[in-house]
Amino acid sequence: MSREPVFSCNDRTVSYIYTVYLHEEKRRIKPAMSSFQDFIQFVFAGLTSGAIYAMVAVGFGVVHNTMGIVNFTQVDFVSLGGMFLFGALATAHLPMAVALPLAVAAVALTGALVEFLGLRPSRSRNHLVLIFLTIGLSIVLRGVMKKVWGKNSLAVPPLHGETPFTVLGATIMPQAVWILVVTAVAIALLVLFFRKTTAGLAMRAVASNPTAAAVVGLKVRRVRTASFALAGALGGLAGVLVTPITTLRYDVGVLLGLKGFSAAILGGFGSFPGAIVGGISLGLLESLGAGYVSSAWKDTIAFLVLLLVLFVRPQGLMGKAAGS
């Protein structure tokens, strides 16, 4: 008597088994080129986010160098940049080429008003008091944004084009290229500003010795207001660049701003080269960590780096140790 087969196979079963086999073989013998493409993809993503962190970190450094405080309204300047851009595009129906610089200028004006109306009237020059004032002003700015633009998520189009292109096998969005190019141009202009212009040299003088700067006739209060305006412009620029690739909300700048703060600590708080190095390093660590370890760690890496730097090297990678 013949034995019944344990199972029967039809064409669909064979096809399914063969498909699974091919999938497992591709997964087991993954081409080296694919791994290289993944690496390039993660690097580009890290450079993109790192450029945003670097601009926010430089904004923190500008105010710290002229006033000696941590300006926590910097995180809201990022949100404001995106909100003003949305208003210029959706409400005023302006073209992107006009809306973007107007949004950055509006945030710069907001930064100047924060110093002029929020900090200058304070009778205390104690740094801790001024830091707490910036925290309170940050909450006020967030409340105003929520009242004006609401709590719902908003969206704005990219600067130019949405069709991705390929670089070394990695897929790159045009907005990422805009972020890298505009950040590089902004940093170059910032270097020229501090080295070649009267206002930039005045900021450097006040940062070096505010008392001596006042003695030689520099308007220290005006310089401090200008430093807040410049910090606002940098935060606003970061906001208008990152808005097309992220969700726009009244509080979107909080996490981005705190990562920029971590980048400033990593590079050396108050050091402009350190802010750039810290921002790029943090972006790469975040992207590579999320890609090769776990995406669940993406937002945690920045704060782990912050704690590690504070424990091991408090002055940061390019900062000077106290007393040196």
Does pLDDT of 139 surpass 50? yes
For residue 192, what are the domain limits? 54-250
Does pLDDT of 249 surpass 70? yes
What is the mean predicted confidence (pLDDT) over 124-128? Answer: 84
Phi/psi of residue 269, each to 5°? Answer: -60, 125
In a domain, 285, yes or no: no
- Structural domain total, the chain: 1
In a domain, 143, yes or no: yes
3-class SS string, 207-236: HHCHHHHHHCCCCHHHHHHHHHHHHHHHHH
Neighbouring C-beta atoms of residue 320, cutoff 10 Å = 12
Tokens describing residue 267: 């590079």
Neighbouring C-beta atoms of residue 43, cutoff 10 Å = 18
More confident residue, 5 or 259: 259
Q: Where does the pLDDT of residue 302 fall: very low under 50, low under 70, confident under 90, or very high at 90 and above?
A: confident
pLDDT tens track for 45-76? 899 999 999 999 999 999 998 888 899 999 99
DSSP annotation string for 137-205: HHHHHHHHHHHHH-SS-B----SS----EEETTEEE-HHHHHHHHHHHHHHHHHHHHHHHSHHHHHHHH
In a domain, 318, yes or no: no
Average pLDDT across the chain, whole number: 84
What is the mean predicted confidence (pLDDT) over 223-228? Answer: 92
Judged on CB neighbours under 10 Å (0-12, 13-18, 19+), 22 is exposed
What is the mean predicted confidence (pLDDT) over 9-27? Answer: 46
Q: How far apart are CA 165 and CA 282, in angstroms?
A: 25
Distance from chain centroid for Cα 295: 18
Q: What is the pLDDT of residue 322?
A: 53
Q: What is the pLDDT of residue 25?
A: 47
Phi/psi of residue 123, each to 5°? Answer: -75, -25
More confident residue, 27 or 155: 155
More confident residue, 289 or 30: 289
Of 155, 150, 117, the C-alpha closest to 134 is: 117
Q: What is the pLDDT of residue 241?
A: 93
Predicted TM-score (pTM) of the model is: 0.84
In a domain, 276, yes or no: no
Of 285, 279, 75, 306, the C-alpha closest to 183 is: 279
Q: What is the pLDDT of residue 13?
A: 45
In a domain, 47, yes or no: no
Neighbouring C-beta atoms of residue 245, cutoff 10 Å = 15
Of 254, 224, 256, the C-alpha closest to 241 is: 256
Q: Where does the pLDDT of residue 296 fall: very low under 50, low under 70, confident under 90, or very high at 90 and above?
A: confident
In a domain, 86, yes or no: yes
Instruction: Assess contact for 57 and 272: CB atoms under 8 A.
Output: no
Judged on CB neighbours under 10 Å (0-12, 13-18, 19+), 273 is middle
In a domain, 272, yes or no: no
140 Cβ contact list (under 8 Å, min separation 6): none
More confident residue, 2 or 168: 168
In a domain, 65, yes or no: yes
125 secondary structure, DSSP code: -
